Amino acid sequence: MKYSEMTHEQLKAERKAVNAQYQELKSLGLKLDMSRGKPNKDQLDLSMGMVDALQGSDLVGEEGVDCRNYGVLDGIIEAKRLLSAMIECPVDQIIIYGNSSLNVMYDTVARSMTHGVMGSTPWAKLDKVKFLCPVPGYDRHFAITEFFGIEMINIPLNADGPDMDMVEDLVSKDDSIKGIWCVPKYSNPSGITYSDETVRRFAHLKPAAKDFRIYWDNAYCIHHLYEDKQDHILEILHECEKAGNPDLVFKFCSTSKVTFPGSGIAAIAASKANLDFIKKQMTIQTIGHDKINQLRHVKFFGDFNGMLEHMKKHAEVIRPKFEAVLNALDTELAPLDIAKWTKPNGGYFIALDTMDGCAKRVVALCREAGVVMTGAGATYPYGKDPHDSNIRIAPTYPTTEELVKACEVFTTCVKLATLDKLLETA
């Protein structure tokens, strides 16, 4: 029976029963972590071949580069070829970095603060700098812009992408808006993928600020859960070129959740003009990134097809976990009509919306029962969810057995928080 159809007395009886269940779960002394989207041990084991990938190999690349030495600012050609296939861009429009795309995004914002964008006024010299932030979104994106004192503006994220009417209106009128954060495929945390129309509308933006850029974080571009149900997205660089806006986008990716987090390789793809400007800073910042690790990735995968086969193995590990969570939500919460959640075809997260005013309470109850979730509000700038409703579920790190127990705790906490809210307002 739906909670909304229960009488006050029925709600009180249900609350008593659910609380008893919650107290029993608390007594188990669980210690489960679902706070971050981390690969688990089984996934990490898939990449152990990388450790020996260079054993006995010639460490001279195909262009004669000795990967043990200095040089090659923008990455060896083999690594460019691999990651350009991964994010669907020409080989000459990509720079290979170190182990983290987050670091590349931070650098990109920092460079804009100190030296502007392709000759524009450095943002640090402006009175006001703003970013658009589709919500719910990635907390580490928001942390970067908050760190630099950039004002963040919430943009609702719909099933087909950000509210483009709002995006188009704001960027066309306000030249202090310098960027927008995007996770366009299997978005963090909702798992949605931008529609073709949304991508085309991005490509045709007419920003008031010449230094406006789309920060296109394609973190989950090959992270499918199913072979027969895969989301596809238009390639933004090509669409921007067709629209006459070739310099409008910075596109980011990494292998952090493909191989070893913290030991992968990352990249930025952009127009030649953008890359030329970036390289001017890079020549001061570094003599070159880890070419041995770049070569290691190439040797391990062979080519992009090898990477795709590798990702099928990841899917085999994590698909049952997503299905376990969704089954628990469908079984325990759907009949009660007290929450809504996404059912993604890929990525690392499921987004759940509780009744307004319940998310913080749910997360706190989970923590008391030994299940650590991502903090409520983390998916919004400044950690402030105006509805206190969105919760990010990260199924990958626990074992499937742990996850089943964690879901029992979580669904019980959603019920308990909802019942308290209903009884409070009755």
pLDDT by residue (tens digit) across 362-392?
Answer: 999 999 999 999 999 999 999 999 999 999 9
**314 shares its domain with 382:** yes
Q: In whole numbers, what is the pLDDT of the chain averaged over residues?
A: 97
* The total number of structural domains that make up the chain: 2
Whole-number Å distance between alpha carbons of 135 and 130 = 15
DSSP string, 197-248: HHHHHHHT---SSTT-EEEEE-TTTT-BS-SSS------HHHHHHHTT-TTS
Q: CB count, 10 Å around CB of 195?
A: 17
Burial category of 412 from C-beta neighbours within 10 Å (exposed 0-12, middle 13-18, buried 19 and up): buried
- Does residue 54 sit within a domain? no
**332 shares its domain with 283:** no
Mean pLDDT of 303-330: 98
pLDDT of residue 155: 98
Cβ density class 211-231: b for 16+ within 10 Å, e for less: bbbbbbbbbbbbbbbeeeeeb
Mean pLDDT of 31-46: 94
pLDDT of residue 56: 79
Cβ pair 340, 356 in contact under 8 A: no
Residue 355 in tokens: 């009744």
pLDDT of residue 308: 98
pLDDT per position as a tens digit, 336-362 = 999 999 999 999 999 999 999 999 999
Residue 29 in tokens: 């002394």
Which of 247, 267, 301 is the last residue before a domain boundary?
301
pLDDT of residue 48: 97
- Domain holding 17, by residue range, is 3-44+308-425
Whether the pLDDT of residue 39 is over 90: the answer is yes
pLDDT of residue 307: 98
Whole-number Å distance between alpha carbons of 411 and 355 = 13
Cα–Cα distances (Å) from 110 to 89, 144, 146, 247, 275, in that order, read: 24, 9, 12, 18, 16
**138 shares its domain with 267:** yes
Residue 314 belongs to what H/E stretch? helix 304-332
Cβ density class 329-349: b for 16+ within 10 Å, e for less: beebbeebebbebbebbbbbb
- We report the CATH number of the domain holding residue 287 as 3.40.640.10
pLDDT per position as a tens digit, 171-220 = 999 999 999 999 999 999 999 999 999 999 999 999 999 999 999 999 99
Mode of pairing for the β-strands spanning 371-373 and 161-162: unpaired
**181 shares its domain with 231:** yes
Phi, psi of 32 (to 5 degrees): -120, 140
Which of 301, 323, 355 is the last residue before a domain boundary?
301
pLDDT per position as a tens digit, 56-96 = 778 999 999 999 999 999 999 999 999 999 999 999 999 99
